[in-house]
C-alpha cells in the first residue's frame, strides 16, 4: 500500500521523497490539468504558470527543459493543489494513470552519508547558510558553491571518521575540500575521505567520475580509484572509474601527475593533454589527446567511441535503464557532439541518424535495436 498523497507532498517539499515518489508526484501534478473538473483547472493552471515563470527566470536558457521547469514548479505549487485530491480521498494510484514519463538531463544534487545512517541533502542548504554533521561543516557560499570545513581537528588519539559524498543517477555536484581543492562529481559517483584529511595527508577515494582542481601544498594529493593510485601536488585532472566498466581513464589538464597501477605496479608520469587507459593490470598512454573534459564543458562527445560506453554515460546522466537486444551492437563506434543538457529524445535522434541503431523508449527503459 502506497502512502497517502498528503504524506508524499510533505516528503517532496522536505526533500526526503525517493526518486520514484518524486516522479509519481510530478507526473500526477502534470496530469491535474486534464484529469480534474474545469472549476479546479483554472486555479491549478494559474499556480502552475506562475511558478513556471519564477523557475524560468532563475535558470539559464539552455537548461530550461520542460520537465526541469515542471519538476521544480511542482515543488512550489503542490501545496496549493494537493488539498483537492486529499479532500476527495484520492490515493497515489491516481498518479500512475498520468501521461508518459518525460526524461530530463541531470541536476545539481549530492548526498552526504552521515555516520548515523542518515542522508544529508547538500542541495537543500540555502545560500549563505551551513549545516554540520560528523564534525564536518558544509557551507553554501553566496555563489551557490559548497565548501567543507572541519569543526575540530582530529587528534592522534582519535580514530579518524570516514566521510562520503555521493551523487545519484541524473546528478552532478561540486565541493571545495578543506584544503581549497575542488572536486566535481559526475552522475552515480562517490568521494570518500577521512576526517584527518589535510592534516596528515590529502587522500581521497573515488568511485565513478570526478574532475579535480587541486591546490598546491607540501602534502601530495592522492586519489585511490579502481586498480590505480594517482598522486599530484597541484593540478587539474579527470578520472573516470565506474565499477561496472572495465576501463578506467585518467586525463591530465594542467600540471604533472604520477599514476600507478595497483595490480602490476607499473607507473607513468603524465603531461598536460595526456590520457592514460587502465584495463586492469596495464597502463596505456595516449599523448596530447586534448585538454578538454567533455562533461565538465557541458557536452556529450562521441569520439570514435563504442555505443556501449556512450549509452552507459547517457543512462547515468538521464537516469534511465538501457538494454541491448543484441550485445554485439555495443561495439559499434560513433563520433559526434551534443549539449549535455539537450532533450533526451534529441540525443537519441543524433545516434539514430547513422542508421545503425534504433531505440524503443518505454518509460525509463531504453531498448537498443
- Average the pLDDT over 91-108 and give the result: 60
Stretch among 149-153, 194-198, 316-320 having the lowest mean pLDDT: 149-153
The answer to whether the CB of 329 falls within 8 A of the CB of 293 is no
134-151: average pLDDT:
92
Strand partners, 173: 185
What is the pLDDT confidence band of residue 100, given thresholds at 50, 70 and 90? Answer: low
- Residue 1 binned pLDDT confidence (cut-offs 50, 70, 90): very low
What pLDDT band is residue 101 in, cutting at 50, 70 and 90?
Answer: confident
Sign of CA dihedral 135, 141, 147, 150: negative
pLDDT higher than 70, residue 33: no
**Mean pLDDT, to the nearest integer, of 31-60?**
41
Which ranges of the chain would DSSP assign to H, the alpha helix? 5-14, 19-35, 38-58, 66-88, 307-318, 344-352
Look at residue 48 in the predicted model and tell me its pLDDT. 43
pLDDT of the residue at 210: 98
256 pLDDT above the threshold of 70:
yes
**Mean pLDDT taken over the chain:** 79
Mean pLDDT of the region 151-160: 71
The mean per-residue pLDDT over the stretch 318-328 comes to: 94
d(CA 240, CA 222): 15
Q: For the residues 227-242, what does the mean pLDDT come to?
A: 95
Would you call 80 exposed, middle or buried from its count of C-beta atoms within 10 A (0-12, 13-18, 19+)? Answer: middle
The candidate with the shortest Cα–Cα distance to 215, out of 232, 228, 203, is 232
Is the model's pLDDT at 357 over the cut of 90? no
DSSP state of 309: H
Amino acid at each position: 500500500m502506497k502512502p497517502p498523497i498528503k504524506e508524499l507532498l510533505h516528503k517532496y517539499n522536505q526533500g526526503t521523497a525517493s526518486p520514484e515518489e518524486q516522479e509519481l508526484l510530478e507526473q500526477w501534478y502534470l496530469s491535474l490539468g486534464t484529469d480534474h473538473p474545469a472549476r479546479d483547472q483554472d486555479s491549478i493552471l494559474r499556480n502552475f504558470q506562475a511558478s513556471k515563470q519564477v523557475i524560468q527566470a532563475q535558470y539559464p536558457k539552455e537548461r530550461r527543459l520542460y520537465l526541469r521547469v515542471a519538476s521544480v514548479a511542482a515543488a512550489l505549487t503542490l501545496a496549493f493543489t494537493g488539498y483537492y485530491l486529499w479532500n476527495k480521498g484520492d490515493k497515489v494510484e491516481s498518479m500512475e494513470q498520468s501521461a508518459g514519463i518525460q526524461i530530463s538531463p541531470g541536476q545539481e544534487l549530492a548526498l552526504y552519508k552521515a555516520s548515523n545512517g542518515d542522508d544529508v541533502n547538500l542541495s537543500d542548504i540555502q545560500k549563505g547558510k551551513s549545516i554540520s554533521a560528523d564534525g564536518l561543516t558544509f557551507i553554501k557560499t553566496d555563489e551557490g558553491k559548497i565548501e567543507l570545513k572541519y569543526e575540530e581537528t582530529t587528534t592522534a588519539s582519535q580514530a579518524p571518521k570516514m566521510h562520503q559524498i555521493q551523487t545519484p543517477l541524473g546528478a552532478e555536484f561540486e565541493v571545495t575540500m578543506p584544503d581549497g581543492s575542488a572536486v566535481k562529481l559526475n552522475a552515480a559517483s562517490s568521494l570518500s575521505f577521512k576526517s584527518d584529511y589535510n592534516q596528515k595527508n590529502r587522500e581521497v577515494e573515488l568511485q565513478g567520475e570526478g574532475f579535480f582542481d587541486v591546490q598546491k601544498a607540501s602534502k601530495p594529493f592522492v586519489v585511490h580509484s579502481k586498480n590505480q593510485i594517482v598522486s599530484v601536488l597541484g593540478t587539474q585532472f579527470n578520472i573516470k572509474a565506474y565499477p561496472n566498466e572495465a576501463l578506467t581513464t585518467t586525463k591530465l589538464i594542467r600540471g604533472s601527475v604520477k599514476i600507478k597501477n595497483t595490480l602490476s605496479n607499473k607507473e607513468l608520469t603524465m603531461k598536460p593533454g595526456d590520457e592514460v587507459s587502465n584495463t586492469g593490470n596495464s597502463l596505456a598512454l595516449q599523448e596530447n589527446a586534448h585538454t578538454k573534459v567533455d562533461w565538465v564543458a557541458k557536452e556529450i562527445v562521441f569520439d570514435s567511441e563504442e555505443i556501449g560506453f556512450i549509452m552507459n554515460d547517457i543512462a547515468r546522466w538521464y537516469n534511465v535503464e538501457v538494454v541491448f537486444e543484441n550485445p554485439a551492437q555495443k561495439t559499434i563506434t560513433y563520433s559526434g557532439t551534443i549539449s549535455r543538457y539537450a532533450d533526451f529524445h534529441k540525443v537519441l535522434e543524433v545516434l539514430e541518424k547513422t542508421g545503425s541503431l534504433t531505440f524503443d523508449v518505454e518509460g525509463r527503459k531504453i531498448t537498443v535495436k
